[in-house]
A and B are shown apart, each in its own frame.
Chain A
Amino acid sequence: MAEYAVELHNVWYSHNGSNHILKDIDLKVKRGALLALIGPSGSGKTTLLKIICRLIRPCSGSISIRGSNGDLERHEVGYIPQQLGLVRGLTALENVLVGAHSRIGFAGTLLGVFPEKEIELAMKYLDMAGIAGKADKKVYTLSGGERQRVAIARALMQEPEIILADEFVSNLDIVTAKEIMDMMKKIKEKDTTLVIATHDISLARDYCDMTVIIKNGVKIDEICSYELDYDRVRDIFT
């Protein structure tokens, strides 16, 4: 079993061949670790997450997920984008069931009918995320915190090895953000690796094992999160 969940080596990325958004990134994330990617807006955090979940390909460099740089099953990596990416016109339960699609065929689900065991599993994850009571509510009727919980349940529904979350509590008030992070830490399986992109230093310090600091697409530092303090990162954000 590979020691690292994610390994990136000399990764470069740009949209147009010049103006690189990521420059020579090296990154190793241990299995089961909780890693924070910290940096100001536009530093390349989202691009890095998209490369890890293979939504985009780097210009050069290598990526290895759980020791394999070949055929990764997409559903092994759960991705929660900044605005959560929930389908507004579907219910919370239907959104969570989207996470199960890699396991079930198209014909059976064409009319929106899902296997009973998948519905039970979705309800289990909605319950773990503390939102089972609103399973049949359309997502657009839910509050910001409730939608966050649905997005987490959808990621868990994939039963992924790695969860990538992009600034996903940054729109919430501090109390709800801490509640969500507490819950995330609690329900995370022991071997599940969690990578969170954030610009919230206290969140990284309180919840993550390691923090990687990025600025202008360059990895500046990699430290244990408890070493994080404002003096250390002041220059990064100015």
Chain B
Amino acid sequence: MNHSREGFLQAVIFSGIILYLANSIGFFDIDRLTRGVSNLFIFAADLFPPDLSVTETLLYSILETIQMALMGTILGFIAALPLGLLGARNISGRNISAVTRLFLGGIRTIPALLWAIIFVVAFGLGPLPGTLGLAIYSVGYLSKLYYEAFEAVDQEILDAVRAIGISRLKEIRFVVLPESMNHILSQLFFMFEYNVRSSAILGFVGAGGIGFYMINYIQLFQYQRLTTAVLLTLAVVLIIDSVSARIRDRFLTRSSY
């Protein structure tokens, strides 16, 4: 079989799979799609204009959201750094890293929302369960990002210092951490940004923050108030994006020569 015929056959099979999936999900149900789009326009019209009378209440709650995201990220970071080191094969060896990765994989399997529900059941309503949920979720993801960054440290640098005979702790302090600092910081900022967005959702299950108000406005059909909450969240996320980009530019070094 020549290459062009083989390529054509692959394209047909691939397109067939995509079409089958789209059909089974409902993308070809024209009546339903038309009805849905029309509903979206009605819903969009209900969202405007935003009701600014709730701004003060929402500002207070969004501060709580930022507080949760910040604390969750910091707690997650404190645990993720040593777990990332344990998960890196070039630092802790295959056996320890395999056990650590299994543990971290288990944590990542449970989404932040489910962690928040678990902690709401355990600790009651409010920002505490939300913060704990974000912290655990951050541990799972940051640790994975960190052990991948630590494993990317140039083997030649490790060889050069191992030949000197310095201890493993010093190797981590003076080689692995400085070499990975760009990754450590940029992923930390990314996690914080992610947690601000995520903590808004956690309020849906009573875990504090602006999400608590969002779900209330949805349930009470107060969509104009919901718009105010969404716009405030968007503003905060944009501010955090811009501040963290500035911090990154200021502190991060070039990652290669």
Contacts and interface: CB of A to CB of B under 8 A. Distances in A.
Interface of A: 50, 53-55, 73-75, 77-90, 94, 98-99, 101-102, 106, 109-110, 138, 140, 147, 151, 154, 158, 164
A61 to B, nearest CB: 20
Contact of A87 (B162, B175, B255): B175
Contacts of A88: 178-179, 253-257
Given A81-B156, A109-B170, A74 B253 contact: no
A168 B70 CA distance: 46
A101 B174 contact: yes
A86 B154 CA distance: 10
Chain A to chain B: the 8 pairs with minimum beta-carbon distance, closest first: A74-B165, A85-B160, A79-B163, A101-B166, A89-B178, A81-B156, A53-B163, A85-B157
25 contacts: A55-B162, A55-B163, A73-B165, A74-B165, A75-B165, A81-B160, A82-B156, A83-B154, A84-B156, A85-B156, A87-B157, A87-B174, A87-B179, A88-B178, A88-B179, A88-B255, A88-B256, A101-B161, A106-B167, A106-B173, A109-B173, A140-B253, A147-B257, A151-B160, A158-B164
Nearest to A54: B163
A14 to B, nearest CB: 19
B164 A99 contact: yes
Interface in B178-215: 178-179, 181-182
A80 B174 contact: no
A53 B159 CA distance: 10
Interface residues of B, number: 27
B30 interface: no
A91 to B, nearest CB: 10
Given A75-B165, A79-B163, A85 B253 contact: no
A89 B178 CA distance: 6
Contact of A74 (B154, B164, B175, B182): B164
Contact of A85 (B161, B173, B257): B161
Contacts, number: 90
Contact of A90 (B174, B182, B254, B256): B174
A90 B181 CA distance: 11
Chain B contact residues: helix, strand, loop or mixed = helix
Contact of A101 (B157, B164, B253): B164
B163 A138 contact: no
A218 to B, nearest CB: 24
Nearest to B255: A88
Contacts of B164: 74-75, 78-79, 98-99, 101-102, 158
Contact of B157 (A77, A86, A110, A164): A86
Given A85-B157, A89-B253, A102 B175 contact: no
**Most interface-central of B165, B169, B181, B256 (chain A CB within 10 A):** B165
A236 B173 CA distance: 43
Interface string B9-49: 00000000000000000000000000000000000000000
A8 B26 CA distance: 73
